[in-house]
Structure 1
Amino acid sequence: MRLFVLLLVMLGSAATASAAGTYDLLFHKGGLSGLHVPAPASAGKEPPDALLYDRVLLSGKKGEAPDNDNIGLQLSADDNVALILRQGPRMRSLGNFPASVGNPLIMYFLESTLSDVAAQSGGSPYYIRNRIKEALMKDAEIVPVSVHLGDRDIAAQKVTLRPLEKDKARSKMGRFAELALSVTVSEQVPGWLYSLEANVPEGQGPEDAGYRNAITLTDKGEAKP
């Protein structure tokens, strides 16, 4: 939870920069507007998800299958948001947040990605965090895309950051210098965030596995008006 708080403070300061457009797209404060709190669960049962996301995580050795799990976003009547990670029968809270900050999934995505990349590369998480902060304060690559949700095709924008692309220490990061963070957003998508994906290409060595952290909204937990 401490890392979430650090990231929120860090990114809050980035929003005051002149090139805040990238930050505003990813940390859209109205991202949860229009969602309705589902009816309370029966006593002893887990609260229902307002939104449900599938996650695919590849961070092991070459040839290993990726992990597949789900992240549920739950709303409460007191305007709090909870993120729940489900890995088979296991469940783990990823934190509770005020709804006013928008969809907190973006915070989890960035924080988990930098922690994974730091562990896999042997680099400093503080160094990677600072590069992400700088990327959020600059213009990003933004392209129009169409996404499919339920029975609809939705106009969206794909925002891509490459936080180490022009870094002075790029040569020391090896293939991790190619880290790309892509987030697809739309006003028509419940919760604003349709997909979030981090990618690093695999290297030449037998242990140089690629990295992928992909989170995508499903229509299974979509809150209806």
Structure 2
Amino acid sequence: MKRPSPADIVLRLALGLAMLTPWIARAENDYSVAERALFMENQIGKLKPPLTLHYVFRKTGTLEEAFDDKVDLVLTAQADGACCAVRPQFFTGARAVRQPEVESAQGNPAILYFLERDIREMQRLTKGQPNYFRKRIRMAVYQGATLRDVSLEYRGKPVDVREFSITPYVDDPMRPRYEKLANKAYVFMMSDAVPGGLYGIRTRIQGESIEAQPLMVEEMYVEGAAEAVRRRQP
């Protein structure tokens, strides 16, 4: 059996794959395009340390108070000089979220940090179990992600971006219990033209009607993403 890479080990720990036995047993060539793009590409290992990746975060919507904050990934060289060990700073002050350091990153852990906080927020809102939410997201990335290629602006110039969209709870058998989240949509934006490969992530929970304001929108974008992009709908 092929030994898992450090990135795969981190992924399994963070998203609870140890509890999803059928998925662990899948052959390497059975990973979806979305899984490979989000979790398995060498987005960090090709960078030149030391450096810090900066992301801006915004929460809006009618459900709770809005706020803006930031997420930083501090990258340093490993003992052999290769990139990179990652030390996260997820939010600031009293809002800061403790996230694990990664000793040998390849895939961008900012994606996993965003998802782990998102899962904790869903647990807070619904009293549901984190492993169940992890499973729904993971299954949606594997089975139901839609892809479209778009051109977005980064530091004043257009860049090619792959958008992967999922709706993990639309066909959820537990939907009546988590109805508040049923229409929640996730959009992951990946681009080779930005450092770390992650252009941004956006989630949206729509209100009771199409005309209603969204209950919650949470967005995290690489520093330098166009302000107009940050404000558009999923």
* TM-score, normalised by the number of residues in structure 1: 0.77
Change over 3 Å in CA distance of 1:162–1:90 after alignment to 2: closer
State the alpha-carbon separation in 2 of the partners of residues 106 and 3 from structure 1: 10
Q: Partner amino acid for 1:193?
A: L
Instruction: Name the structure 1 match of 2:33.
Output: 21
Q: Which residue of 1 aligns with 2:49?
A: 37
Greater RCO between the two (CA within 8 Å, min separation 6)?
1
Shift of residue 3 of structure 1?
11
Decide whether the 8 Å contact of 2:203 with 2:217 is kept in 1: yes
1:109-124 equivalences under 5 Å are: 109-124=114-129
CA distance in 1, matches of 2:89, 2:74: 8
3 and 212 in structure 1: CA distance in 2 versus 1, 3 angstrom threshold: farther
Distance 1:174 1:8 in 2: 23
Instruction: Between 150-159 and 172-181, report the one with greater CA deviation.
Output: 172-181
Q: Choose which of 52, 56, 59 in structure 1 pairs with 2:58.
A: 56
Work out the CA distance in 2 between the residues paired with 1:123 and 1:103: 27
Name the structure 2 match of 1:44.
none
SS of aligned partner of 2:131: helix
RMSD (CA atoms): 3.1
Partner residue, 1:5: 13
Shift of 1:29: 2.9
In the alignment, the residues of structure 1 paired with residue 12 and residue 74 of structure 2 have an alpha-carbon distance, to the nearest angstrom, of 17
Give 1:70 shift.
Answer: 0.6
CA–CA separation in structure 2 for the residues paired with 1:188 and 1:80: 22
**Unpaired segments ≥5 residues, structure 1:** 39-48, 221-225
Are the counterparts in 1 of residues 145 and 166 from structure 2 also a CA contact under 8 Å? yes
Describe the SS at the equivalent of 2:193.
coil
- Measured in 2, the distance between the counterparts of 1:123 and 1:141 equals 26
CA displacement, residues 87-127 of structure 1 (integer Å, 9 cap, x when unaligned): 25986652211343311011111111111112112322222
Q: Provide Cα deviations, 1:134-191, integer angstroms capped at 9, x if missing partner.
A: 1122141111111111121101111011111212222332231111111000111210
Q: Which residue of 1 aligns with 2:75?
A: 75
Q: Which string of whole-angstrom CA distances, capped at 9 and with x for unpartnered residues, describes residues 9-42 of structure 1?
A: 459837847252121111143111442213xxxx
Aligned to 1:46: none
Distance of 2:139 and 2:94 partners within structure 1: 38
1:97 paired with 2:91, answer: no
Structure 2 stretches lacking a partner, 5+ long: 1-9, 79-83, 226-234
Report SS of the residue matched to 1:106.
Answer: helix
Give, in whole Å, the separation in 1 of the partners of 2:27 and 2:152.
Answer: 27
Q: Which residue does the alignment assign to 1:142?
A: 147
* Deviates most, 120-129 or 85-94: 85-94
Aligned to 1:201: 206
Q: 1:186 to 1:30 in 2, by over 3 A?
A: same
- What is residue 196 of structure 2 aligned with on the other side? 191
Summarize the Cα distance change of 1:91–1:179 in structure 2 as closer, same or farther, 3 Å threshold.
closer
CA contact (8 A) 1:8 1:107 kept: no
- Residue identity matched to 1:73: L
Deviation at 1:5, TM superposition (A): 2.9
Q: Secondary structure at the match of 1:95?
A: coil
